[in-house]
Amino acid sequence: MTGPKTPRRLCRQSASATLLAISVLANSVLPILSSMPAATALTTVEARTPVVATVPPPTVSVTTITPTVAVPNAPITIKGTVRNSSDVVITSPVARALLGQRPLTSRQAVSDWATSKGQQLMDEAAQTSLGQTLAPGAVTAFTLTIPANAISHDQPFDVLPLRVEAVATTPAGLQTSGEVNTYLPALATIKAFEPLSIAWLVPLTLDPDPALQGMASTTRTAAWAKAIGPGSRLDKLIQGTENANVTWAIDPAILGPSLSSAAVDASAAQSTPTPSPSLAPGRASNPDPVTTMTTALAQRLRAAAPGHTLWSLPYADPDIAALLPLTSGSQSLTSFISHPSTLDVAVGPARADIAWPVTGTLTPQTQAELRRVFASPGLTAAVTSASTVTSHNGFPSEASRKSSSGLPLLAYDESLSRTVAQTSSKADGTITIQRFLADSMALLGERPGTRDRSVLVAEPRTFTGDPSVLRSLFAAVDKAPWLVPATTGQLLAASEKLAPEDPGSGANGTSGTATSPTANSHDPLNPGISPLTSDQLATIPDTMSSITGIAGILGDGPAFASTWTDAQVQQLSARWRNHPEGITAINAATNAAINTISRSVRVAPSSVNFFADRGVMQVTVVNDLGVPIHDVHLTLTPAQPRLRIERQPGPLKIGANARANVPLQVTSIAAGLVKVEAVLTTQDGIPLGQNATVNVRVQPPGSWIYWVLGGMAFVVVLLGTQRSLRRGSTRASDPDAQEPPLND
């Protein structure tokens, strides 16, 4: 007898029936799907379960996407390479392009798509076989062509997510795949937006290399060749931007220490040494090869200057943000900025009235301090971060703004600036360019109908761009109809026409209420914490005094003063952020140079016997330097009153690799051994060498010596008189003595 079925049995039977149906359906449908064209297949990123492969996935690189922007009736050609990164042969490798079903409608979505956060339903748009097998480490090229009808142009503009993928089979029969996400901006035939004006700001500054400072040497020459010579970061940066409409913000220090005497503190040396090329001691006739390199760089910049707007940063690009809060730092900045820029003569007219702190935040207090230190040229504007001046509507502000205090501001876009900063890699150049276009199109989409919008792209001081990638980027931007070229001068003119904003509008340098994805992200133009402190600045005046004093005795003193004064100036540069060891190295090299000169001028230790009441004693001063010295002061101090120095010697002048015997008028007081301390100093009192001791054995004569000497003199006279008398009497008594005959 069969009783009624329990609910558990009913569920079990239903599940079995369902599994049977799925199995039958799969067996009948899979052969049909396998025969369908690949272009009609649909890949769902969210639903795809990653296959655990036993070998590394293939590496996909995209080299070109042509054109960079999809327009109606134009196919897209993608070229790249696939590399078998495993140590086994993979079979049936295939490259394919997939387009997302949903466009990226915000800058946050664009940012997410570059990472694992972005997920999409993808449609395969193109596929190509890479052969039967791919050997370990082998690289093969591919070309994918996305047909024009596979790209939607329903909207006036869209940012389409694009994935390029390589799929293959491992020896174990598992599937392995590698991929790279990129972007495909798409435009419709009808224009329905107001374009953005875009301007570029690129700094030309030195690398954080302390070897750039110091006297002429092969090490210094090599450092300058690495910094500004062929193949250097600056050389590549100039190559990549010299034909683009960009503003160059130039640190005059890239042209050498022409402003070697900028005071770093009000208490530093008052006089200004005459700038001169750095020469090694004793080799004044040999030109410094660094001068040849800097001259060539100046000529190159001068030739390209007509195509650019030129800004002059203060000499050595001082760390404005770090120095302003410090009293001595503020004084140093005033000295820096008050010096006229040397670029006007060397390169061409360059404006020096725009402040560009290395950090992107300008508080009201900072603006007031900037006006004070820029009093000499006058402060026209300041560069700041767009996120710190974001409007209350939640969208990034325009590049042209004006603070509540009336200071015109040029606000750079962090996201676009950060993307351009990634152009150092040629391998990822195409991906970087596509992301820039996608991000700028997403920025356009925030307010597509607003006129006179502008964006500023500014790069970090250490910007390293591959020339070919930069040229391709500028070419792609020129072809993007939603981006119109502009200059920083045009942005500044627009800023000057604006009315000062309300203190609560976010244009004072304080962070606004921005909801932009870039507002709280890392600023690429803020390279880290400054190593400059009050204690570190406090040591500079003493070092400057030592440099001036040492230079005052050298035959090539101007070169010594120019070189090492400039080294002290360079310590205040913004380039040492994240590189505090550079400041330590400069200080060590400066002190070593001072100590080397000091130790090379010395008093030779000696012992002297002085047996007189008064007279002349000699002291020997040695110059081991390869250059003559002058104005060296010698001071001798007896340790006991047995000996008195009547008059200290005057300034000494000694030839190169020579010594001088210095006569001294001394008076002996009492007998005994007297230690005389000999001290050498410069005219300013800077000590030279180490104090030396001259041991003088003093033995002044008593009154008895005069009686003895008088008696001895009397005896000598008496003996001489007696001898003369004896000779005369002998000649008169000689009978043979005759007068000599006279000659006829």
Cα(445)–Cα(186) distance, integer angstroms: 13
d(CA 559, CA 500): 49
Pairing between strand 247-250 and 309-312?
A: parallel
Q: Which of 487, 493, 420, 496 is nearest to 455 (CA)?
A: 487
The second-level CATH assignment, the architecture, of 601-698 is: Sandwich (2.60)
* Amino acid identity for residue 475 in this structure: A
Measured CA distances, 601 to 17, 323, 361, 426 (Å): 104, 38, 51, 55
Flag whether pLDDT at 43 surpasses 70.
no
| Residue whose C-alpha is closest to residue 516's, from 85, 99, 111, 223 | 111
Is residue 436 predicted with pLDDT exceeding 80?
yes
pLDDT bin (cut points 50, 70, 90) of residue 389 is: confident
Question: How far separated are the first and last CA of the chain, in Å rounded?
Answer: 196
DSSP state of 283: -
Mean pLDDT of 439-449: 94
Architecture label for domain 38-192: Sandwich (2.60)
Band (294; pLDDT cuts 50, 70, 90): very high
- pLDDT computed for residue 706 by the predictor: 53
User: Residue 707: is it exposed, middle or buried by C-beta count within 10 angstroms (0-12/13-18/19+)?
Assistant: exposed
For residue 700, what are the contacts with CB-CB under 8 A and spacing of at least 6?
Answer: 611, 612, 613, 668, 669, 670, 671
Mean pLDDT of 399-403: 93
Per-residue pLDDT, 293: 96
3-state SS class at 246:
coil
Per the prediction, the chain carries an average pLDDT of: 83
Q: Mapped to the 3 state alphabet, what secondary structure does 666-730 carry?
A: EEECCCEEEEEEEEEECCCCCEEEEEEEEEEEECCCCCHHHHHHHHHHHHHHHHHHHHHHHHHHH
Torsion (CA) 61, 65, 70, 76 in degrees, nearest 10: -90
Q: How confident is the model at residue 274 (pLDDT cuts 50, 70, 90)?
A: very low
Calculate mean pLDDT across residues 367-377: 93
DSSP code per residue over 607-620: EEEE-SSEEEEEEE
pLDDT in tens, 458-468: 999 999 999 99
**Least confident window among 315-329, 343-357, 730-744:** 730-744
User: How confident is the model over 14-41, as a mean pLDDT?
Assistant: 38
- Give the lowest-confidence range in 60-69, 188-197, 210-219, 354-363: 354-363
Close Cβ partners of 239 (under 8 Å, ≥ 6 residues apart): 467
Instruction: Supply the pLDDT for residue 699.
Output: 78
pLDDT tens per residue across span 71-115: 999 999 999 999 999 999 999 999 999 999 999 999 999 999 998
CB burial readout 112-149, b (16+ within 10 A) else e:
bbbeeebebebbbbbbeebeeebeeebebebebbbeee
**Residue 286: its pLDDT value, please?**
63
* Residue whose pair of structure tokens reads 């997510």 in the numeric block: 161
pLDDT of residue 528: 84
Place of tokens 């932009």: 516
Both tokens assigned to 564: 């090492």
Tokens in use for 470?
């930069």
Radius of gyration from C-alpha coordinates of the chain: 42
Question: Taking the domains of the chain in order of start, what are their residue ranges?
Answer: 38-192, 534-599, 601-698
Residue 273 has pLDDT above 50, yes or no: no
pLDDT value for 741:
52
3-state secondary structure of 603: strand
Going from the C-alpha of 87 to that of each of 58, 116, 527, 598, 609, the distances in angstroms are 11, 26, 40, 63, 88
Write out pLDDT tens, residues 487-515: 999 999 999 999 998 776 555 544 443 33
Q: Which of 322-331, 456-465, 714-723 has the lowest mean pLDDT?
A: 714-723
- Beta strands of 512-657 (E only): which ranges? 601-603, 606-610, 614-623, 629-638, 643-645, 652-654
d(CA 485, CA 476) in angstroms, rounded, equals 12
C-beta neighbour count of 647 within 10 angstroms: 8
* Cα gap 316→313, rounded to integer Å: 8
Whether 697 shows a pLDDT value over 90: the answer reads no
> Is pLDDT at 37 greater than 90 in this prediction?
no
- pLDDT at position 517: 39
473: closest CA among 87, 195, 62, 68? Answer: 68
Is residue 197's pLDDT more than 80?
yes
Q: What is the pLDDT of residues 226-237, one digit of tens each?
A: 999 999 999 999
Q: Does residue 384 contact residue 362 with C-beta atoms inside 8 Å?
A: yes
Distance, CA of 436 to CA of 61 (rounded, Å):
18
How many Å apart are CA 125 and CA 97, to the nearest integer? 6
Which residue, chain included where needed, has tokens 């090229």?
Answer: 141
* pLDDT over threshold 80, residue 148: yes
CA distance 623 to 658: 5
pLDDT of residue 537 exceeding 50: yes
Residues 461, 441: contact at Cβ < 8 Å? no
Mean pLDDT of 26-43: 38
- Residue 508 to residue 191: CA distance in whole angstroms: 36
Over residues 428-437, mean pLDDT: 96
pTM of the full predicted structure? 0.81
